[in-house]
Amino acid sequence: MIHEIVESNQFIMLVALLLIMSVFVTKFSSRLGVPSLVLFIGVGMLVGSDGLDLLYFDNAEVAQIVGIFALIVILFEGGMQTKWKSIKQVLAPSVTLATLGVILTSAVVGAAAKYILGISWVEAFLLGSIVGSTDAAAVFAVLKGKNIRNKLEATLEAESGTNDPMAVFLTISFIQVLTTDETNIWAMAGSFFWQMGGGLAVGLLIGYGASYALNRINLDSSGLYPIFALGFAFLTYGATSLIQASGLLSVYVAAVLIGNAELAYRYSIIRFHEGFGWMAQILMFVLLGLFVFPSDVFTGEVIADGLLIALVLIFVARPAATFISLIYFKFNWKEKLFLSWAGLRGAVPIVLAIFPLLTDLENSQLMFNIVFFIVIVSTLLQGSSITWVAEKLKLVSDQKTNPIHSLELISMGKANVELMQYEVNDKNLIVGQSLENMELPDKALINAIIRKGEVITPYGQTTIHAGDTLYIMVTKPIKKEVKSLLEAEDERKTEENSSHEKNRA
């Protein structure tokens, strides 16, 4: 009994050290120019059996379950921070990349894998399918805080949030071909459309229902609302999976709806899920690092073959798929080239690579090792150079966007009052206006202004500057009116900025 208690205490201490180490890793990742997810995996490999031998982990089923749970949290957090106004303009090209783009990428990578690895055609296309989609966790993490043009950032986020169904469908289909004698092509095609349609329908249904419930149900503590929202995330995935549709797509759709709704407890919900999303990333990538045995992956044969396939993926398959998929959409060659380069691989391919392991396919371990190495190459090479490539192609925005929300609401308990936080940008019509000329409703009051890190006490003659953060006390009935006033844009400035961006392109 005492021995078991000591072991449990040691495990708790190890988990604590892993969390602290992972947080420090995120601090240094930006300085090193390396995506944090690679360093998380490195932490897992360091404490694993091939490293310091502090933890031994080789359970594929647990790794898959934890990976899916983490992806639900990450997709939900990313979807809530996605602005519908931005992605609706690029929805068609994003969906095209998420479907046709994945098929083309899988085909090219599969053909390369056939001749490089010497495996069968079906096994080769299975490997291509596993790495065919971009990864939401990697894309959200790498793009966060970057000053990439909104159009391109929205395209990448929408693509990574919606391309999982195609990758999952192709992966499962090729596994079925390898493990069963009879394959019905029409049934497989119908399954894909059901996954896409069912995932979209359930996501919309639960998204609307969750938005209504979060605003109408009065809970005793504001801290319960983030947990309430998280419950809807898992409900969305579970309900969709029960009807054999795409749970990950459903979660992303529901999250976009919830994140773009008027939520009374937006601030606490967003902040909670941002922290929990980091927790999920740390847990997932550290666990995947533990699951990998470096002595198996970093061998001469795997490195040579994996590097060749990774180069084909990055420099041939992804660019070809991007340029072909976007041929009828209004993207110039620089934008297509950047979208090609920013197609990161991450947790999803690694989780999908566990599927063949669970079915005991002949070359499943080889596939997993190759996929893992491809992900490492993709995140190191592409993830660390996204900002540099955007700058070289002159695709960096003039205005740095708020990485969370332009409008956040802090609930004031049971009172019918909220404190609104709004960051002013140079396109807003209120820039240059004094407070006495802003025409705020009677029951709205600007309490404080943060300007260049300093607190300014507002008075009637105070002028609004771009970059100011306004804190406004409002009653709930006039919230929409105040929001419309704050977000109104100066059409002349908007036209000038659009014209400037076109000239630079």
pLDDT score recorded for residue 402: 43
Overall average pLDDT of the 133-162 stretch: 78
Overall average pLDDT of the 59-74 stretch: 87
Distance between CA atoms of residues 395 and 379, nearest Å: 20
DSSP three-state, residue 135: coil
Q: Read off the tokens for 139.
A: 């894309």
| Top-confidence range, 7-16, 214-223, 275-284, 391-400 | 275-284
Residue with tokens 């941002």: 274
User: Which pLDDT band, with edges at 50, 70 and 90, does 134 fall under?
Assistant: confident
Eight-class DSSP state of 398? S
Does residue 452 surpass a pLDDT of 90?
A: no
pLDDT in tens, 464-482: 888 888 888 887 777 778 8
Distance between CA atoms of residues 369 and 294, nearest Å: 9
Does residue 504 surpass a pLDDT of 70?
A: no
Does residue 33 surpass a pLDDT of 60?
A: no
pLDDT score recorded for residue 317: 94
Distance between CA atoms of residues 44 and 127, nearest Å: 24
pLDDT score recorded for residue 319: 95
Distance between CA atoms of residues 281 and 297, nearest Å: 22
| Top-confidence range, 162-176, 211-225, 307-321, 477-491 | 307-321
User: Which pLDDT band, with edges at 50, 70 and 90, does 403 fall under?
Assistant: very low
Does residue 186 surpass a pLDDT of 80?
A: no
Which stretch of 4-18, 205-219, 292-306, 414-428 has the lowest confidence by average pLDDT? 4-18
pLDDT score recorded for residue 277: 84
User: Which pLDDT band, with edges at 50, 70 and 90, does 407 fall under?
Assistant: very low
Residues contacting residue 371 through CB under 8 Å, at least 6 positions apart: 127, 130, 131, 349, 350, 352, 353
Distance between CA atoms of residues 423 and 306, nearest Å: 45
Question: Which residue type, as a one-letter code, is found at position 434?
Answer: S
pLDDT score recorded for residue 393: 87
Distance between CA atoms of residues 286 and 26, nearest Å: 13
Distance between CA atoms of residues 180 and 113, nearest Å: 22
Angle made by CA atoms 160, 162, 164, in degrees to the nearest 5 = 80
pLDDT in tens, 315-337: 999 999 999 999 989 889 999 99
User: Which pLDDT band, with edges at 50, 70 and 90, does 306 fall under?
Assistant: very high
Does residue 380 surpass a pLDDT of 90?
A: no
pLDDT score recorded for residue 339: 92
Helix (H) or strand (E) holding 423: strand 417-423
pLDDT score recorded for residue 4: 52
- Phi, psi (rounded to 5 degrees) for 21: -65, -40
User: Which pLDDT band, with edges at 50, 70 and 90, does 502 fall under?
Assistant: low
Distance between CA atoms of residues 256 and 264, nearest Å: 16
pLDDT in tens, 247-295: 888 998 999 999 888 777 777 888 888 888 888 888 888 888 888 888 8
pLDDT score recorded for residue 230: 92
pLDDT score recorded for residue 24: 76
Mean pLDDT for all residues in the chain: 82
Does residue 9 surpass a pLDDT of 80?
A: no
How many residues can be counted in the chain?
505
Other beta carbons within 10 angstroms of residue 447's beta carbon come to 12
pLDDT score recorded for residue 113: 94
pLDDT score recorded for residue 112: 95
Nearest to 292 by CA among 335, 350, 252, 217: 350
Sign of the torsion angle spanned by Cα atoms 496, 498, 499, 504 = positive
Between 300-312 and 364-381, two packed helices, what is the crossing angle to 10 degrees? 60
Q: Where are the alpha helices (DSSP H) in 144-260?
A: 150-162, 164-179, 185-216, 224-242, 247-259
Distance between CA atoms of residues 258 and 254, nearest Å: 6
pLDDT score recorded for residue 104: 94
User: Which pLDDT band, with edges at 50, 70 and 90, does 362 fall under?
Assistant: confident
| Beta strand extents in 217-375 (DSSP E only) | none
pLDDT score recorded for residue 363: 86
pLDDT score recorded for residue 184: 65
pLDDT score recorded for residue 81: 82
User: Which pLDDT band, with edges at 50, 70 and 90, does 409 fall under?
Assistant: very low
Nearest to 78 by CA among 36, 30, 136: 136
Distance between CA atoms of residues 142 and 438, nearest Å: 38
Does residue 201 surpass a pLDDT of 90?
A: yes
pLDDT score recorded for residue 217: 82
Q: Is 167 within 8 Å of 130 (Cβ atoms)?
A: yes
Nearest to 367 by CA among 344, 348, 345, 350: 350
% of the chain residues with pLDDT over 90: 22
Overall average pLDDT of the 15-22 stretch: 75
| Beta strand extents in 13-110 (DSSP E only) | none
| Beta strand extents in 273-312 (DSSP E only) | none
| Top-confidence range, 68-77, 146-155, 176-185, 211-220 | 68-77
Which stretch of 88-92, 289-293, 358-362, 492-496 has the lowest confidence by average pLDDT? 492-496
pLDDT score recorded for residue 167: 85
Q: Is 325 within 8 Å of 100 (Cβ atoms)?
A: yes
pLDDT greater at residue 398 or residue 396: 396
pLDDT greater at residue 354 or residue 405: 354
pLDDT score recorded for residue 102: 92
